[in-house]
Amino acid sequence: MSQRRYEMTDFEWSIIQPLLPNKPRGVPRADDRKVLNGIYWRLRTGSPWADIPERYGPSTTCYNRFVRWQKLGVWDRIFEAITAAYDGDLQMIDSSSIRVHQHGANAKKGVRRPPPGTSLTPDAWGARGAG
């Protein structure tokens, strides 16, 4: 399998493989590495599960395995092992930016505000029931 943008390296796979549950019974399982690459592709791109490329197997397999492993705590073990293997040399930067919608940038129209220099007690700016 040639290395693609969202796929694990051989080093990462050598760390992850022993941590995966292996209960061989019934129908043979889809290749774990292929399914993991499909899960990582989905998580990194933010695409819907149904849009996972065919080379990673059925999207339902990727989704079901993701959910099942979450319940078993497999993901926590994987992240801890990868973090330990890179010994703090791996850093991630979130480059997302959040902007306020143009209508959310200003206060609502008709909101009564006290004139500058007045105290902020309700009776200073004419609130009902003050006194």
What size, in residues, is the chain?
Answer: 131
- Report the phi/psi class of residue 73: left, alpha or beta, with left for phi > 0 and alpha for psi in -120 to 50: left
DSSP 33: H
What string of pLDDT tens digits covers the 131 residues of the chain? Answer: 456 777 888 888 999 999 998 877 777 888 899 999 999 999 888 899 999 999 999 999 999 999 999 999 999 998 888 888 877 665 655 666 666 666 555 555 666 666 676 666 666 556 665 55
The domain spans of the chain are 10-19+28-86
Contact 114, 120 (CB under 8 A): yes
Q: How far apart (Å, rounded) are the C-alpha atoms in residues 42 and 122?
A: 53
pTM of the model: 0.62
